[in-house]
Chain A
Amino acid sequence: MQAMVYRGPYRIRVEEKDVPAIEHPNDAIVRVRLAAICGSDLHLYHGMMPDTRIGHTFGHEFVGVVHEVGSSVQNLRVGDRVMVPFNIFCGSCFFCARGLYANCHNVNPNATAVGAIYGYSHTTGGYDGGQAEYVRVPFADVGPSVIPDWLGDEDAVLLTDAGPTGYFGAQLGGIVEGDVVVVFGAGPVGLFAARSAWLMGAGRVIVVDHLQYRLDLARSFAFAETLNFVEVDDVVLELKRLTDWLGADVAIDAVGAEADGNLLQHITAAKLKLQGGSPIALNWAIDGVRKGGTVSVLGAYGPTPSLVKFGDALNKGLTIRGNQCPVKRQWPRLLDHVKNGYLRPSDIVTHRFPLEHIAEAYHTFSAKLDGIVKPLVTVSGA
């Protein structure tokens, strides 16, 4: 089969690989129909995630058709059209039993500090991902769901990560009616977080980024006010000015490890890899939120330390919450919202690349060229 393959930082190509085999009775093999590239994949692509091995196939956002099932699989049948959450989880451990599906203890031997994710290095379990024709899906009775007939592939693939993650992030903020919410990052995750903040009753939503074309989408897709941080000298000060000098009630970091806007932080983290991530947006969130407020962290950071302004967080009495999104926990409600027409996930899709052109797709998405917001990867051989 054809699969995207990592060849070292900033380099990928398509290679011929064996179709994955059933390795556990509850495995399924899924033939991928459509995949997507996530902002998280860029952290791998840039060589920021420890234990990213040459030959690894990325991709944790994909939908497809069940091709083969293991002997103990009961809930899926060959031929089912399925969406697969980016988390791999067992459904029966201490954490899964409590709904912490992103923090499963039974699937990632390489680390206890993070769960398992498809195609996301060995630090998250060493599973090849879905930017390929076929993918091994462990715990087929637990993770995947059959896609309802009324939902198209493009909407479904956005519900395997970006959509639920933004929705989850708004929940972590504990938003109550009338709250002022500031979202850092107008990528797919930030856009969904901003849009979801309204579902929870936000009174104002402000989105911060430096890419004007994405801020335009924040206005039209997420109905938000926008702040382009290239245009202001001091983001935190500007936020205070915009919020009657109190600060926002809730701040959401949807940027993560490669945040830009402070040369020292960006270079020591994203370029020299001396920090687990460049916490520029996180620090802006900590300083821009009001005392007693909540910071919701969706942006991904690596396992090594980062220069976070913890003193400010402490002195302001902040609540800081974060996690990888437990995707399947969001589905029932989020699917209702989609069905009710409250949001259409595929509205943010801007680019569709065939698998053969995936190197170009990664470069275009990484360098944020051509107005790219969400790139999909079409798998034609399947």
Chain B
Amino acid sequence: MPYTKDKPSLPETSEQLRARIPGWGADLDPADRPSGSRERFDPGATGAHWDVPQQQPQRLPRERSIEHGRLTPVFGTAQPLHGPSGAVRRYAYRRFSEGRLAHWLLLVLGDRMETAEARMRSYVSRRPDNPLAETGLIGEFRSHGLRSRAGRVDRRHQLLDLVVVAGPTLLRIGIVTLLVRRVVRAVVKVARSTPDPSRPLSRGDSR
């Protein structure tokens, strides 16, 4: 019982478990486990044959956390910063340490900006975004979307999930439709109000 000093008894003894479960107790000694001690000073174990790694050449200016005293010897070169989102991200790195919430919120802002930039650019590229293919929705049909969801806790917010996934696209389509309608209407209006020069002036007309 829990209100006495003894540990509650287990349904199976160690011997029973050893017989039932392959490898039970193979790492029984807590001191003899690969990560049993958190830190284990053993610089020779890693395969490194340098004290300080050689510096990877920096071909483009590389943003870095100001909590680093230097650019690290090795770094990733994928997707260098560019455009307005790049400016926001660069500022986040240069101005705020990782300890500041502003650092991360600006990076998140940069993410959303870059998504919008990429979407715009895609529409004028040779390979526009294809929301249906890119969201992998075919999986819904090939993998029993409805049946798979029965009895799960996430059913409660599935509608919201749809808004999160499709919302931005629908919003963009909405805005573009509104803009296009405005432009079309304005053009029509201008066209209508421009007097037809072939038509002779009638009385009420004034030029």
Contacts and interface: CB of A to CB of B under 8 A. Distances in A.
A244 B7 CA distance: 10
Interface stretch (A148-156, A183-191, A310-318, A335-343): A335-343
Interface string A108-150: 1111110010000011011110000000001101100000000
A200 B76 CA distance: 38
Contact of A141 (B48, B119, B154): B48
A354 interface: no
Contact of A334 (B20, B34, B56, B115): B34
B46 interface: yes
B33 A108 contact: no
Interface size class on chain A is 35 or more
B139 A125 contact: no
A271 B165 CA distance: 10
A271 to B, nearest CB: 5
Contacts of B10: 178, 180, 203-204
A110 B104 CA distance: 12
A23 B131 contact: no
Contacts, number: 305
Please indicate which of the listed interface residues B23, B36, B50, B52 has the most CB atoms of chain A within 10 Å of its own CB.
B23
B195 interface: no
A174 B30 contact: yes
Interface in A56-105: 56-57, 72, 74-75, 88-92, 96-101, 105
B84 to A, nearest CB: 13
Contact of A359 (B45, B79, B133): B133
Interface residues of B, number: 100
A127 B76 contact: yes
Contact of B35 (A12, A303, A329): A329
Interface string A349-382: 0000000001111111001111110000000000
A174 B49 CA distance: 33
Contacts of A267: 157, 160
B180 interface: no
Nearest to B22: A342
Given A11-B129, A23-B57, A329-B34, A126 B78 contact: yes
19 contacts: A8-B119, A11-B135, A12-B134, A12-B136, A54-B114, A54-B115, A91-B47, A105-B72, A107-B75, A112-B98, A126-B79, A177-B14, A198-B25, A201-B25, A271-B164, A273-B108, A302-B104, A360-B142, A367-B140
